[in-house]
Amino acid sequence: MTLTSPTRSLIPVTLLTGYLGSGKTTILNHIMQQAAMADTLVIINEFGEIALDHLLVVHSTDNVVMEMGSGCLCCTIRSDLVKTLQDLTWRFSRNGKRQFQRVLIETTGLADPAPIIHTLMTDEQITSHYRLDGIVAAIDMATGNHTLSTYQEAIKQAAIADCLLLTKADLATHQNKADLLQRLNVINPAATCWQVAHGQIEAEKLLDWGLFSTQEKTPNVERWLREEAYRAEDTHDHDAQDHTEDYHDHAGHDDHLHDINRHDDHIRAYCFTTEQPVSKHIYPTLLDLLFYMGSNILRIKGIVNIEGNDGPMALHGVQHILHPLIPLPAWPSEDRRSKIVFITRDIERGTVEKIFKSITHISNRN
C-alpha cells in the first residue's frame, strides 16, 4: 500500500494555542511579516462580543487575516470553523486559483484545543481539503507555573503540543524558569521548546510538525513521533536542557518541584513497542477503547506494522477521536517494530501497557 499524492497536497493547518497573556499575538505580529508566511491565511478567534486581538496584528499585503468573534472557537466549532474553512477556498481565489497554501489558526487563550483538533481530523467537509499539520503552544515563563497549576486548559494545551514557545523569559526568575522547564519536560517530554524574546522567532519553527512537510517528499516519522524522548522519560535519563532548544539558563532543582501540588501530576506519557506484526483489527479495537477511555487519553500517535501490509501505517488520535490509519511509503529506518505513544491523564503505566497489549496482540486470539 502506498501513500497517494492527494494526502500530501491537502492544505496544512497549524494550530497556535496558549493561555491568556502567553504572547500569541506578539508572536503573530513577528512571524506574519516573514517570507515563510507569505502564502498563509491566518484565522484569529477572539472570545466575546467585541473582538480586539485582531486589531493588534500587523500583517503584510501577502497575508490575509480573518477574525471569528462570535464566541470561543471550541464552543462554536461546528458552525463557525467549518463554515469558515469551507468558504476560504472560493473567497480567497483569483481566476479559480486558491491564493493561500496553508492556514494558521490562533485560538483564544481559554480554548480547549481538543474540539478544534477533532473537527480538523474528522469532519468530512474539512478533511477533504485540509490536514492538521501541527499544534504549537505559547507558555509565559514568568507566570507559567501558576497558570499550569490553576487552569486545566493550559495543561492540555501544553500536553498535546508538538512545539512549545517559551515567552517572557526576561520577566521570570532563574528559579521559575528552571522549575517550569522541568515541569514541561514531565508533561510533554517530546515537544521541542524554543525560547521567544519579544515575539521574535523564525516562522519556519512553527511549521511542518506533522508527518507531511510541504517541502519534503517523504514523511518525517522520527520528528513527528519522537519516541526516544518518551523512553528517556521512562528511565529518567534526560533533563530540561536535553529537551530544550536555544535555552541554556537551567539548573537542577528537583527538590523544589516535588513540593508543588499540581494538576499536571496526573499527566503522563508512555511509549511501547512490539516486534510482532499487529492484527488488522487494531483500528476497531482502538476505537472501542478510546470510546470508553478517550477523556483520559489526551493524544495517541504511532507507527504500526500491520499483518498483511507491505509498508507501515501511521496512527493518530486525540482523546476519543481516532484518525483513519495513514499508509506510509516506506519505513523510516531498518527498524520494523510497531511503536505507539500515549499521552494520558490519571492512567497508570500498567494500565496503559495492558491497553497496548490488547490492541497489538489481538492477532493471537483471531
Helix (H) or strand (E) holding 359: helix 349-360
In this structure, are 196 and 121 located in the same domain? yes
In this structure, are 155 and 201 located in the same domain? yes
Based on C-alpha coordinates, what's the Rg of the chain? 20
In this structure, are 80 and 121 located in the same domain? yes
Q: Give the domain range for residue 113.
A: 5-231
In this structure, are 66 and 175 located in the same domain? yes
104 neighbors 16 (Cβ within 8 angstroms): yes
Helix (H) or strand (E) holding 153: helix 152-159
In this structure, are 165 and 218 located in the same domain? yes
In this structure, are 264 and 296 located in the same domain? yes
Position 20 scores a pLDDT of: 86
CATH code of residue 335: 3.30.1220.10
Number of separate domains in the chain: 2
pLDDT tens sequence for the chain (366 residues):
333 444 568 899 999 999 888 999 899 889 988 988 888 888 876 544 434 444 444 444 455 555 555 444 444 445 577 777 877 766 766 676 777 888 998 887 777 788 788 888 888 888 888 999 999 999 999 999 999 988 888 999 999 999 999 999 999 999 999 999 999 998 999 999 999 999 999 999 999 898 877 666 678 888 888 888 877 655 443 333 333 334 333 333 333 333 334 545 688 888 999 998 888 888 888 888 777 777 788 888 999 999 888 889 998 888 878 888 889 988 888 899 999 998 888 888 888 888 888 777 654 444
CATH code of residue 84: 3.40.50.300
Q: How far is CA 207 from CA 12, 218, 302, 362, in A?
A: 9, 16, 20, 37
Predicted TM-score (pTM) of this structure: 0.78
